[in-house]
Amino acid sequence: MKRFNIAVLPGDGIGTEVTQAAVEVLKVATAAHSEFALEYSEYPAGAGEFRRSGDDLPPATLAACREADAVLLGAMGLPAVRRPDGRELTPQIDLREILDLYGGLRPIKLYHQQDTPLKNHGPGDIDIMLVRENTEGLFAARKNGIFDHDKATDQLVLTRKGCERICRMAFEQARARRKKATLVDKANVLPSMVFFRRIFLEVAEQYPDVQAECVYVDAMALYLVQRPHTFDVIVTENMFGDILSDLLAGIVGGMGFAPSADIGDDCAVFQPSHGTAPDIAGKGIANPVATILSAAMMLKWLPDPDAQACGERIESAVAAALLDPLNRCADVRGPLTTLEMTERIIQCL
Ligand code: ATP
């Protein structure tokens, strides 16, 4: 029997609640398979750990993430726990940089017409894979941006290596989907984006079977509201990806429906796109769907066909549960608690 070690980092706020829900679903789903097994080990990280030990990403946690077959993460950071310069703790972003998890895969799918604020859109109309560059761009300035009384500077850096590998990942995703890749940039204004577009079009030549197009980020914000059904894979810079992934979540029901995977060449971390949601933490009402779908992405990423099939079963169970409009948590005015929603998904397995 194949065994995979999963490092579980619940983190802060609703991170602990949704991680528990996802592990519960994983345990039930994998119990039906005798060909592989998951072994879970929990590690501390986040704002709570910073308060406790003075370190938001302890060396033992980092080492465990490197050694694990995959990492399942909840959410980290709390508004009240900050560094002396005012920034919140973001060990999940540190992890992406340290482990070189350059590919942020953020699938967005509409499961039921009632979840979208858009008119005339039903299931099947919104099915987009956002590929966010995770290690460069404007976010890379967060540790060396400078400001004084009169001036502040954050530098946006893109490298050829970084652009090539994220574009290749996007084209590979598109090839396995509906064969369309859209670069989102601001090449009409910023030289860094002219550079990015040039490399995207170079990589596109290696994928003649995939339709390649480029859209400016401001226009994309409009198009994602007006005609999301026309997009398949979207690839973009770190900060643009951060913003557009929330917009995308908004058109399918909110952050509780938005899973993600941060993929590198050696490691991968799976987590919901949302944060710790301190406004609802501890109430037991967080929507666990995003984390359960992230856990399914984790299984599909493992190098084992049985694990991959199990990931697909979880995705189908989520889709089946969401067919019933009453199977919803408070984020979309549903009646269920985190625990109840998790049970409904388990029943559909
Ligand atoms: P971060 O910057 O860490 O991504 P954020 O400040 O963008 O976090 P979130 O923590 O993602 O904020 O929360 C944004 C809003 O969405 C909050 O009102 C929160 O309650 C809600 N929210 C986020 N995730 C969920 C969830 N799983 N279930 C229900 N509501 C959620």
pLDDT digits (tens, 9 = 90+) for 260-282: 999 999 999 999 999 999 999 99
DSSP type of residue 89: P
Q: How far is CA 20 from CA 9, 14, 36, 60, 195, in A?
A: 10, 10, 21, 21, 43
Q: Which residue's C-alpha comes closest to atom 5 of ligand 1? A: 275
Q: Let me know whether 140 and 179 are in one domain.
A: yes
Instruction: Say how far apart CA 217 and CA 134 lie, in whole Å.
Output: 17
Flag whether 316 is in a domain: yes
CB 209 within 8 A of CB 175: yes
Q: Is the pLDDT of residue 83 over 90?
A: no
Q: How far is CA 187 from CA 72, 152, 164, 196, 230, in A?
A: 36, 23, 17, 8, 21
Looking from the CA of residue 277, the nearest atom of ligand 1 is 10
276 CA to centre of ligand 1 in angstroms = 6
Region 23-50: mean pLDDT is 96
Kindly calculate the radius of gyration of the chain based on its CA atoms and give it in whole angstroms.
20
Q: Which residue among 56, 246, 274, 283 has the greatest number of ligand 1 atoms within 8 angstroms of its CB, and so is best to mutate? A: 274
41 CA to centre of ligand 1 in angstroms = 26
What count of other Cβ atoms lies within 10 Å of the Cβ of residue 160?
12
Q: Is the pLDDT of residue 17 over 80?
A: yes
pLDDT at 85: 79
Flag whether 259 is in a domain: no
Q: Let me know whether 75 and 136 are in one domain.
A: no
> pLDDT by residue (tens digit) across 281-311?
999 999 999 999 999 999 999 999 999 999 9
188 CA to centre of ligand 1 in angstroms = 33
Instruction: Say how far apart CA 306 and CA 325 lie, in whole Å.
Output: 31
Which of 59-63, 78-82, 205-209, 339-343 shows the lowest mean pLDDT across its residues? 78-82
pLDDT at 144: 80
Q: Which residue's C-alpha comes closest to atom 19 of ligand 1? A: 277
pLDDT at 148: 87
Q: Let me know whether 182 and 271 are in one domain.
A: no
Looking from the CA of residue 291, the nearest atom of ligand 1 is 27
15 CA to centre of ligand 1 in angstroms = 10
Residue where one domain finishes, among candidates 198, 215, 250: 250
Looking from the CA of residue 280, the nearest atom of ligand 1 is 20
Residue where one domain finishes, among candidates 250, 280, 314: 250
Q: Is the pLDDT of residue 312 over 80?
A: yes
How many domains in the chain?
2
φ/ψ of residue 125, rounded to 5: -80, -30
Q: Which residue's C-alpha comes closest to atom 1 of ligand 1? A: 275
Flag whether 178 is in a domain: yes
Q: Which residues line ligand 1 (CB under 6 A)?
A: 14, 18, 77, 255-256, 274-277, 279-280, 286-287, 290, 331
Flag whether 148 is in a domain: yes
Q: Let me know whether 243 and 131 are in one domain.
A: yes
> pLDDT by residue (tens digit) across 105-144?
999 999 999 999 999 898 889 999 999 999 999 988 877 8
Q: Let me know whether 153 and 236 are in one domain.
A: yes
Q: Which of 308, 306, 299, 121 is nearest to 227 (CA)?
A: 121
Q: Which residue's C-alpha comes closest to atom 3 of ligand 1? A: 275
CB 181 within 8 A of CB 168: no
SS3 192: helix
Flag whether 110 is in a domain: no
Region 16-24: mean pLDDT is 98
Q: Which residue among 73, 246, 255 has the greatest number of ligand 1 atoms within 8 angstroms of its CB, and so is best to mutate? A: 255
Q: Let me know whether 138 and 246 are in one domain.
A: yes
- Torsion angle of the four alpha carbons 300, 22, 250, 239, in this order, in degrees rounded to the nearest 10: -70
> Which two tokens mark 124?
């099947």
pLDDT at 298: 98
139 CA to centre of ligand 1 in angstroms = 20
Region 319-336: mean pLDDT is 97
What count of other Cβ atoms lies within 10 Å of the Cβ of residue 191?
10
Confidence (pTM):
0.95
Instruction: Assign 3-state DSSP to the chain and report helix, strand, coil percentages, each to 5.
Output: 45, 20, 35
Question: Domain with 240 in it: what CATH number?
Answer: 3.40.718.10
SS3 35: coil
Residue where one domain finishes, among candidates 250, 275, 307: 250
Structural domain that includes position 322? 1-101+266-349
Place of tokens 């169970």: 317
pLDDT at 297: 98
Instruction: Say how far apart CA 158 and CA 135 lie, in whole Å.
Output: 9
